[in-house]
């Protein structure tokens, strides 16, 4: 009986010790609002909404690797036909998917700065995008996060070489 109790106690202590271990990965489900700052067809896509996942790969330093996957749709449209000087249509941005990778820096306990970059998929094109962000946690438990970001997609319109830029405000809930 003492052996069973000792084994049970040992398992109980080890399970509690293991439960206190910090997770290696933290993922947030984000909902966001984007306001287009500049684009060749800004009137056709002035704002959008979207969902995303942001994952932090926790380590012992203040710099943590980060991956962000977001999808946005642009619902507002002024239905104005826009064209280049040669008569070809300038296609607006009905939506985009971004897969960004980078790093996050935590200068204070509830504040982080992140810089991510990677492919952005718009209208069947794969373009390079960057996204610097200022994020914060609503509590010490880091269950909820908020962030303000600037998104720049390079060379969005091939004919003119114009970029796409937007400001984003997001709120996220910790999944695990």
- Measuring CA to CA, how many Å separate 4 from each of 7, 9, 13, 17, 106? 5, 9, 14, 20, 46
- How far is residue 105's CA from residue 133's CA, in Å, rounded to a whole number? 10
Work out the angle at residue 87's Cα, subtended by the Cα atoms of residues 83 and 90, and round it to the nearest 5 degrees: 30
Q: What is the pLDDT of residue 20?
A: 52
- Measuring CA to CA, how many Å separate 126 from each of 96, 123, 129, 157? 10, 9, 10, 12
Q: What is the pLDDT of residue 80?
A: 75
71-123: pLDDT as tens digits:
999 987 767 777 767 777 777 888 999 999 999 999 998 999 999 999 999 98
Question: To the nearest whole percent, how much of the chain has pLDDT over 90?
Answer: 62
What residues does 25 pair with on adjacent strands? 57
Q: What is the pLDDT of residue 23?
A: 76
Q: Which CATH architecture has domain 23-174?
A: Beta Barrel (2.40)
Q: What is the pLDDT of residue 145?
A: 97
Show me where the domains of the chain are located: 23-174
Mean pLDDT, residues 148-162 taken together: 91
- How far is residue 40's CA from residue 51's CA, in Å, rounded to a whole number? 24
15-39: pLDDT as tens digits:
444 455 567 999 999 999 999 999 8
Mean pLDDT, residues 131-139 taken together: 96
- Which position has the higher pLDDT, 3 or 57? 57
Cα torsion at 141, 142, 143, 147 (round to 10°)? 160
Mean pLDDT, residues 54-63 taken together: 92
Residue 3 reports pLDDT greater than 70:
no
Lowest mean pLDDT among 9-18, 23-32, 38-47, 141-150: 9-18
Q: What is the pLDDT of residue 32?
A: 97
Q: Which of these, 144, 138, 148, 151, lies nearest to 169 by C-alpha position?
A: 148
- How far is residue 52's CA from residue 86's CA, in Å, rounded to a whole number? 38
């Amino acid at each position: 009986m003492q052996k069973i109790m000792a084994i049970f106690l040992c398992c109980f202590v080890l399970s509690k010790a293991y439960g206190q271990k910090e997770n290696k990965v933290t993922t947030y489900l984000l909902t966001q609002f984007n306001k287009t700052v500049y684009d060749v067809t800004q009137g056709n896509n002035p704002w959008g909404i979207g969902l995303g996942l942001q994952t932090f790969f926790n380590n012992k330093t203040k710099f943590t690797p980060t991956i962000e996957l977001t999808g946005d749709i642009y619902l507002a449209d002024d239905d104005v036909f826009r064209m280049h000087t040669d008569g070809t249509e300038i296609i607006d941005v009905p939506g985009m998917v971004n897969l960004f990778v980078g790093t996050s820096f935590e200068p204070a306990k509830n504040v982080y700065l992140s810089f991510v970059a990677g492919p952005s998929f718009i209208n069947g094109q794969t373009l390079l995008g960057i996204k610097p962000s200022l994020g914060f946690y609503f509590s010490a438990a880091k269950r909820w996060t908020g962030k303000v970001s600037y998104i720049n997609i390079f060379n969005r319109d091939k004919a003119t070489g114009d970029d796409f830029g937007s400001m984003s405000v997001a709120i996220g809930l910790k999944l695990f």
